[in-house]
Amino acid sequence: MTKAMQVKLEQNPAAEAWGDKALLSFSGAVATVHTPGANGDGNVAAQRAARRLDGMGVPAVELAGDGWDLESRWAFWAGYYNPLKDNQLDWGLSSGRQLKELQAREAAARWVREVTNGTPEDISPRVLAESAANMLQKLAPDAISYQIIAGDSLLEQGFAGIHNVGRGSVREPAMLQLDYNPGGDPEAPVDICLVGKGITFDSGGYSIKPSNNMAAMKSDMGGAAMVSGGLALAIARGLKKRVKLYLCCAENLISGHAYKLGDIIRYKNGVTVEILNTDAEGRLVLADGLIAASEEEPRWILDAATLTGAAKMAVGRDYNSVMSFEDDTAQRVLDAAAAEYEKAWRLPLDSFHLEQIPSGFAEIANVGVEGSPGASTAAAFLARFVRDTGRKWVHMDLSGSYLPSGNDQWAQGAKGHGLRTIARFLQDC
């Protein structure tokens, strides 16, 4: 086994020979991360140091010394993770609550990052649904039941959005319906419903994406991964609330069977939708999940999706976007993100956005009128499928969940940024 490099964290500056702004210094097999005057950015420094050590090819590290706390240890792991390598990290803890929490975070985040980074050939709609169900059932085998509805059975049960988006692929679309019921009472009310977009590959359909925009579209199932990972972390932390999870999974491909511009989809709740852009497919599959969630009359509904480029344009790839008609509901997610040291930002959603998705042939279209705010009209579309047009519902557009190329804090690919927010939302609401 490779001998691990010891890594210490200190607020003292490095010796002068390393430079007055040195992040790292070395003495034999010991590296020291320096965070003088960090002013709250010590966790960022730890994450950047981890990225540098990974870039140097250091295969194994042990966090040593008294400078580490829970969040700096976690930040280091987030930066040290590399999908191309099997980097080994020893937390430097032998037991205790902090170690248990770190292990729970790592298990959830590693699953989210690995399944999102998986190839579209390996991660089909059914595989995604089964992987999430199996991962969660291992955490609470006596508290979880689920079913996967796939192929034509989706139409038989009224889930026309998932079926239409996925019908162009030879690999059938699927919906995971999972019930986490720790009390075991089948009549117990549902506290929270989670809905995730699981587009395992998005070509754009007949509104085809250019190649450079399509390259990262294996990550378009990031919402399904994130809500599953968030539930997993909450369960590991001891969640006692009843939660139902809906993953809306499909491949958006082109074929003689694919849905087309001009098609009209009639949903289970009676809403009709004209297809004006087959690349606006995420909202079409989420609609089915939101209808099913609303039928349960939970206290809260949260959906998560890599839904719009507009959200990324608004907040970049460091923040996730949050939208709701209700100030209190949106604030609950923002508070959860702050408590978990994740970044989230509220984008506008108002009643007039509901008027910006008109159709001459159906009740609404799946894209807004020219010049309308894309993230807001996408959320407004979703609201048409939530009880009372959005009551106790919040939408997360996962702007900060995936990087097409690495940077000084994150490796290329999925970040898992958002699962802790969802876990805390489940715990606190």
Tens of pLDDT, residues 192-243? 999 999 999 999 999 999 999 999 999 999 999 999 999 999 999 999 999 9
∠ CA 121-125-128 to the nearest 5 degrees?
A: 90
Q: Could you count the other beta carbons within 10 Å of the beta carbon of residue 366?
A: 27
Residues 62 and 194 in one domain: no
Spatial strand order of the sheet with 144-150 comes to 144-150, 174-180, 243-252, 192-202, 300-305, 393-397, 320-323, 344-346
Residues 48 and 148 in one domain: no
Q: For position 371, what pLDDT does the model report?
A: 79
| Coil, strand or helix at 194 | strand
Q: Single out the residue in 43, 67, 92 at which a domain terminates.
A: 92
In a domain, 235, yes or no: yes
Residues 118 and 57 in one domain: no
CATH code, domain with 336: 3.40.630.10
Q: What is the dihedral of CA 270, 274, 278, 283, to 10 degrees?
A: -40
How far apart CA 422 and CA 125 sit, in angstroms, is 22
Mean pLDDT value across residues 324-336: 98
In a domain, 102, yes or no: no
Q: Which of 52, 110, 209, 346 is catalytic?
A: 209
How far apart CA 426 and CA 424 sit, in angstroms, is 5
Mean pLDDT value across residues 388-397: 98
Contacts of 216 (CB under 8 A, 6+ apart): 402, 404
Given a cut of 50, whether residue 310 has pLDDT beyond it is yes
Task: Based on the residue annotation, tell me whether 138 is a catalytic residue of this protein.
Answer: no
In a domain, 103, yes or no: no
What digits encode the pLDDT tens for the residues 87-108? 999 999 999 999 999 999 999 9
**CA contacts within 13 A on the Cβ side of 80:** 26
Q: Single out the residue in 66, 92, 118 at which a domain terminates.
A: 92
Q: For position 414, what pLDDT does the model report?
A: 98
Distances (CA, A) of 308 to 160, 275, 377: 22, 16, 10
Q: For position 5, what pLDDT does the model report?
A: 95
In a domain, 26, yes or no: yes
Residues 68 and 122 in one domain: no
Mean pLDDT value across residues 353-379: 95
In a domain, 155, yes or no: yes
Given a cut of 90, whether residue 20 has pLDDT beyond it is no
∠ CA 126-128-132 to the nearest 5 degrees?
A: 120
Residues 130 and 87 in one domain: no
Q: Which of 113, 218, 242, 283 is catalytic?
A: 283
Burial 255-286 (b: 16+ CB within 10 A, else e): eeebbeeeeebebbbebebbbbebbbbbbbbb
Residues 220 and 346 in one domain: yes
Residues 180 and 80 in one domain: no
Banded pLDDT at 1 (limits 50, 70, 90): very low
Between 38-42, 230-234, 374-378, 381-385, the lowest mean confidence (pLDDT) is in 38-42
In a domain, 98, yes or no: no
Burial 174-196 (b: 16+ CB within 10 A, else e): bbbbbbbbbeeeeeeebbbbbbb
Spatial strand order of the sheet with 5-10 comes to 24-27, 30-34, 5-10, 60-63, 88-90
Which residue segment(s) compose the domain that 199 sits in?
109-428
Residues 65 and 176 in one domain: no
Question: Structural domain tally of the chain?
Answer: 2
In a domain, 304, yes or no: yes
Residues 134 and 81 in one domain: no
What does the mean pLDDT of the chain come to?
Answer: 96
Task: Based on the residue annotation, tell me whether 209 is a catalytic residue of this protein.
Answer: yes
Residues 76 and 193 in one domain: no
Report whether 137 contacts 144 (CB < 8 A): yes
Residues 168 and 259 in one domain: yes
Residues 148 and 50 in one domain: no
What digits encode the pLDDT tens for the residues 107-134? 999 999 999 999 999 999 999 999 999 9
Report whether 50 contacts 77 (CB < 8 A): yes
Percent with pLDDT over 70 in the chain: 99
In a domain, 101, yes or no: no
Q: Could you count the other beta carbons within 10 Å of the beta carbon of residue 341?
A: 14
